[in-house]
Amino acid sequence: MAYKMKKLQIPWLKKRVVSLKVPIAICLVLFGIVPMFLCTQTILSSVKQNQIDERMVEVQNQCQILSSKIARTGYLSGEDKSSLNSEIETIADVYNGRIVVVNQDFKIVQDTFHISESRLHIAETVIRSFQGETVSRYNRDKHYFAQAMPIYSLSPDKHVEGVLVMTASTEAMARLTESVGDRLVLFQVILVLVLVLAAVLAAAMMVRPFKEFQAKLHHVEQGALDTDISSEAYRETRDISNSVAQTITKLQEADQSRQEFVSNVSHELKTPITSIRVLADSLMGMGEVPVELYREFMEDISNEIDRESKIIDDLLSLVKMDKSEAELNISQVNLNVLVEQILKRLRPIANRRKVELIFESIREVTADVDEMKLSLAITNLVENAIKYNMEEGWVRVTLDADHKFFYLKVQDSGIGIPEDVQDRIFERFYRVDKARSRETGGSGLGLAITRNVVLMHKGAIKLSSKEGEGSTFTLRIPLNYIA
């Protein structure tokens, strides 16, 4: 039988339902791109800063060497400048910069740009250098590095007799860094495309077990309940497949139980009718027979009609209890009085079978129950204990309670129930001894009804039985019913 499985619906996902591959692919791409971008920027910035630091050190060294030569050659005193001027020009060209030499009167004596010679150069950096301080500055926007360094005289007092100002361009380094950056961007774009492709393929591979599992579920949905849906690819798919397999097993069991129930109902309802027809046909075919024989046949027909009526009544009771909207008429009931009334009603049956009924009331018990339904359940248990008992046997009903539950125990000295069938006795129409059940007029529904009543009261029923020694049914039901 095919079962239609309802799709899981989440309100905020009704309009937008995406494949699992999408978030997996996005996560893989992000985890690849973000670290790559951060690493690239960090490396590029580090390389750029290292180049600037190296250039600054080179400029500082050149300034120190040049200031020493200026002091030794007497350059500021007006001696021969041609040889040193040539070296100054060369150094300025090497660093694509400018070198300015200022004497102690703040007058420029050498400018490699030849635009400010003989002019005064009064600037903050020059003043600080005349005070013996070496000043370094880097302009990131205009890409140059400037340094002002004092020129000390060779006299014993080593006073500052001039200042050497040197600027070096870092534009070439900036262009190189930009070029490297552009190549890195191109590399990043290519790598991103590779990452996206790899992420999509990886996501597809990761989702494949779920797609295979979905295909298996589709076969199940079409009615192939025997399809093997096991999936060991991931722990999650294994757990899901195990849960679904258990659900399918329960569906199969429910389907089998339903089919058995329909078959049993059909059989049980047809049996009395068949017996009645056989008896009626026999009567019609006999002709003139004694009145006593007619009476005997009519009694048999009446018994079969009673049996048919009991089966129908029990079926109706089960149907009412099975309905989801079945309700209990809860009221405060004195259970001691209820049990005594039930035993009083069943005592004639027990006397006919020479079975002693014993009621042990440990304490007075009052509980919230549906009196009619609970009375039906207790009656079924006691009546079964009488019918399936030994001659001159006994049935003991014990009532007790604690602060939370009441306990009703029905114990007999009867034939007992085989251990291998004890887990089936609460099934509808199940009989341990079918011949004896028909003899006693049982419908096979009594224990099923009893179990339903107990469950409706949020209680539990337990069986303890040994073949040939008797059975004990124990009910445990809450004293206070909470809907």
Q: What is the pLDDT of residues 174-201, one digit of tens each?
A: 777 777 777 877 887 888 888 788 878 8
How many degrees, rounded to 5, is the angle at CA 410 between CA 405 and CA 413? 155
Most confident among 8-12, 201-205, 313-317 (mean pLDDT): 201-205
Structure tokens at 354: 């020479």
Structure tokens at 429: 């129409």
| Low-confidence winner among 99-103, 150-154, 279-283, 388-392 (lowest mean pLDDT) | 279-283
Would you say residue 312 has pLDDT above 80?
Answer: no
Interaxial angle between packed helices 82-94 and 21-73, expressed in degrees from 0 to 180 and rounded to the nearest 10: 180
Q: What is the pLDDT of residues 385-426, one digit of tens each?
A: 998 898 889 999 999 999 999 999 999 998 888 887 878 788
3-state secondary structure of 368: strand
Q: What is the pLDDT of residues 20-46, one digit of tens each?
A: 667 777 777 777 778 877 887 887 788
Q: Which helix (H) or strand (E) holds 40?
A: helix 21-73
Q: Give the Cα separation of 222 and 211 in Å (integer).
A: 17
Would you say residue 168 has pLDDT above 90?
Answer: no
Tell me the CA end-to-end span of the chain in Å, nearest whole number: 35
What is the CATH number assigned to the segment(s) 235-318?
A: 1.10.287.130
Would you say residue 252 has pLDDT above 50?
Answer: yes
Q: What is the pLDDT of residue 5?
A: 42
Q: What is the pLDDT of residues 76-133, one digit of tens each?
A: 876 667 778 888 888 888 888 888 888 888 888 888 888 878 788 888 888 898 888 8
Would you say residue 55 has pLDDT above 90?
Answer: no
Would you say residue 7 has pLDDT above 50?
Answer: no
Q: Are 475 and 402 in contact (CB under 8 A)?
A: no
Q: What is the pLDDT of residue 62?
A: 85
For the segment 318-343, the average pLDDT, to the nearest whole number, is 81
Q: What is the pLDDT of residue 402?
A: 94
Would you say residue 2 has pLDDT above 60?
Answer: no
Residue 336's pLDDT band (cuts 50, 70, 90): very high
- The strand pair at 405-412 and 470-478 is best described as antiparallel
Task: Give me the sheet containing 356-361, strands edge to edge.
Answer: 356-361, 394-401, 405-412, 470-478, 460-466
Q: What b/e sequence results for 246-274 when a residue is b if at least 16 CB atoms lie within 10 Å of its CB, and e otherwise?
A: eebeeeeeeeeeeeebeebbeebeeebee
For the segment 343-356, the average pLDDT, to the nearest whole number, is 90
Q: Are 268 and 429 in contact (CB under 8 A)?
A: yes
3-state secondary structure 157-193: CCCEEEEEEEEEECHHHHHHHHHHHHHHHHHHHHHHH
Is 3.30.450.20 the CATH number for 18-229? yes
Q: What is the pLDDT of residue 314?
A: 64
Percent of the chain with pLDDT over 90: 17
| Chain-centroid distance, C-alpha 462 | 35
Q: Give the Cα separation of 75 and 102 in Å (integer).
A: 11
208: left (phi over 0), alpha (psi -120 to 50) or beta: alpha
Would you say residue 320 has pLDDT above 80?
Answer: no
Would you say residue 434 has pLDDT above 60?
Answer: no
Q: Are 150 and 132 in contact (CB under 8 A)?
A: yes
Q: What is the pLDDT of residue 362?
A: 93
Q: Give the Cα separation of 82 and 353 in Å (integer).
A: 145
| Residue 413: how many other CB atoms lie within 10 Å | 18
Which residues does 96 contact at the CB level (< 8 Å), separation at least 6?
A: 168, 169, 171, 172
From the list 261, 194, 248, the residue with the least C-alpha distance to 220 is: 248
| Chain-centroid distance, C-alpha 62 | 69
From the list 331, 434, 442, 436, the residue with the least C-alpha distance to 383 is: 442
DSSP 76: G
From the list 268, 276, 55, the residue with the least C-alpha distance to 168 is: 55
**C-alpha distances in angstroms, 280 versus 79, 287, 311?**
155, 12, 21
Q: Give the Cα separation of 96 and 334 in Å (integer).
A: 111
Residue 4's pLDDT band (cuts 50, 70, 90): very low
**Domain regions of the chain by residue span:** 18-229, 235-318, 327-478
pTM, rounded to two decimals? 0.47
Give domain 327-478's CATH superfamily. Answer: Histidine kinase-like ATPase, C-terminal domain (3.30.565.10)
Q: Which residue has the higher pLDDT, 455 or 58?
A: 455
Which residues does 113 contact at the CB level (< 8 Å), separation at least 6?
A: 98
Q: Give the Cα separation of 470 and 352 in Å (integer).
A: 19
How many degrees, rounded to 5, is the angle at CA 184 between CA 183 and CA 190? 95
Q: Which residue has the higher pLDDT, 401 or 303?
A: 401
For the segment 40-56, the average pLDDT, to the nearest whole number, is 79
| 170 half-sphere exposure, CB direction, 13 A CA radius | 24
Residue 435's pLDDT band (cuts 50, 70, 90): very low
Would you say residue 473 has pLDDT above 90?
Answer: yes
From the list 245, 238, 257, the residue with the least C-alpha distance to 220 is: 245
In 242-338, where do the E strands start and end? 330-334
Percent of the chain with pLDDT over 70: 83
Residue 14's pLDDT band (cuts 50, 70, 90): very low
